[in-house]
Amino acid sequence: MSAAPWTIAGIHAALQAKKISAREIASGFYAEIDRRNPELNAYLTLSHERAYSQADRVDAAIARGDKLPPLAGVPIAVKDVISTSGIRTTCGSKILESYIPPYDATAVTRLENAGAVILGKTNCDEFAMGSSNENSAYGPVRNPVALDRVPGGSSGGSAAAVAAGLAVVALGTDTGGSIRQPAACCGIPGLMPTYGRVSRYGLIAFASSLDRIGPFAGNIADTAAVVAVIAGHDENDSTSAAASVPHYDVQIEGPIQGLRIGVPEEYFGEGIDSEVKEKVLAAIALMEKLGCRRIPLKMPHTEYAIATYYIIATAEASSNLARYDGVRFGLRVPGATLLEMYRKTRERGFGSEVKRRIMLGTYVLSSGYYDAYYLRAQKVRSLLARDFSDAFQKVDAILAPTSPTPAFKLGEKTSDPLQMYLADIYTVTGSLAGIPGISIPCGKTKAQLPVGLQILGPHFSESRILQLARAFEKAGGFGI
């Protein structure tokens, strides 16, 4: 059975009507993965035993006539930076090639408690550092829309799995655009929740003040269903917000007439592909036709966002990745002295992009440079956050491109790190401000490459941005 047509609602209805079992659904997805994954390289590890065990529990509950939980039997993929008990978790790195976590991330626990079937772990840029999924130690992921193109990064495997029908939904992580940008490249919705909305417990850290877990899905209803399950306070994460979780599935159907949508001029300047600009402006015009009011915005500190992000993110990465020393877990390369063991382990275990970011981060934190770089970047981060708080006094949401270009060719930017970093120019702003954002498809270029529309909202306004996304989807906006 082809995996592609399934949605959460479709699976729920089919299971309730006993037209198919959860085990058969899982088996169908594994058959599709066996067929497509060799060319896509979206999955790194499959968890057959755990998936079938969960599917059998769902089937037993149906046989007993129990009420089904919201994600019963739904096949889900999990990015390989999120801990899964007993399932290899590599972070796309050689340094964790054989690492098997002893516990589940809170998001994974909540998915399984809601009946979800975890198919396996998806490929990603090493330690989530990248915009193209070409930095994985296990090879690049190919975009299912165009196999010679990148799927976006760092959550490229999760985005490709959903876009190719190898999972109904998938978890990714977003530090500077790593959910939204792959969603745009692969032509599917991808949601970055507010910082603190979803527990980071069990997420292997890249930059702790920026990292967030969120879902990819084929439609807005499924996106809302997953975030409703994984959101909420968690005492294991001190940054987890105590805010209550709304009924997203109900609220997404609310009216959008009269909502004020802000369009920042800084997101449509130099560097944006003409076809991307055309599609995003057409999407904004459709939102106006649906009853929204368009308001022009100025966000003056946007130009400093990339520099600010790459100082703060690399500084936090330098600190977080110091734990990979060959002593406690992961790869160990023996050396004559402790220092030599550290050096050899990290030299062999880390890829070039991770080494680059560790060196950058160590430099900006070093004596004599801390004030000039890191401290100044934190001050600019506050100014960027103020740009958003000022904007949200005037508008209910902000609409912009997700990425300045469609998916680029594999290998096109690997020799120029700066060009690669600039792929995140429209996404790092929302990351630095801690606000939620979603990328949704808004048509394709002449070369049939997807374009993403980004919707950003104030803190904890996931309902509002999902509502706008759902209205746009219902109006046929995904294919404009």
Cα–Cα distance for residue pair 455/467, rounded to 1 Å: 10
Catalytic (active site) residue 382:
no
Give the tokens for residue 96.
Answer: 């964790």
Catalytic choice (21, 47, 79, 93): 79
CB 438 within 8 A of CB 180: yes
Compute the distance between CA of residue 97 and CA of residue 138 in angstroms, rounded to an integer: 10
| Identity at 202, one-letter amino acid code | G
Q: Is 178 a catalytic residue?
A: yes
CA 42 to chain centre: 14
Nearest to 207, CA basis, from 365, 319, 125: 319
As a whole number of angstroms, the distance between CA 9 and CA 221 comes to 9
Nearest residue to 159 (alpha-carbon basis) of 177, 135, 139: 177
What is the phi/psi pair of residue 183, to 5°?
-60, -45
Q: What is the DSSP string of 427-475?
A: THHHHHHT--EEEEEEEE-TT--EEEEEEE-STT-HHHHHHHHHHHHHT
From the list 131, 155, 158, 178, the catalytic residue is: 178
Each as own residue / partner, the long-range contacts of residues 238-245 (CB below 8 Å, 24 or more positions apart, any chain) are: 239/195, 239/196, 239/200, 239/208, 240/196, 240/199, 240/200, 240/201, 241/194, 241/196, 241/197, 241/460, 243/196, 243/197, 243/460
Query: What angle (nearest 5°) sits at the alpha carbon of residue 435, between those of residues 433 and 438?
Result: 125
Task: Tell me: cis bond preceding 154? Omega within 30 of 0 counts.
Answer: yes
Catalytic, out of 47, 132, 136, 154 = 154
Cα(143)–Cα(150) distance, integer angstroms: 5
What is the rounded CA–CA span in Å between residue 261 and residue 292? 7
In 3D space, the residue among 99, 103, 132 whose CA is nearest the CA of residue 422 turns out to be: 132
Q: Are 173 and 214 in contact (CB under 8 A)?
A: yes
Structure tokens at 367: 């004596």
* In contact, 423 and 135? CB cutoff 8 Å: no
Give the residue numbers annotated as catalytic, written as ranges: 79, 154, 178
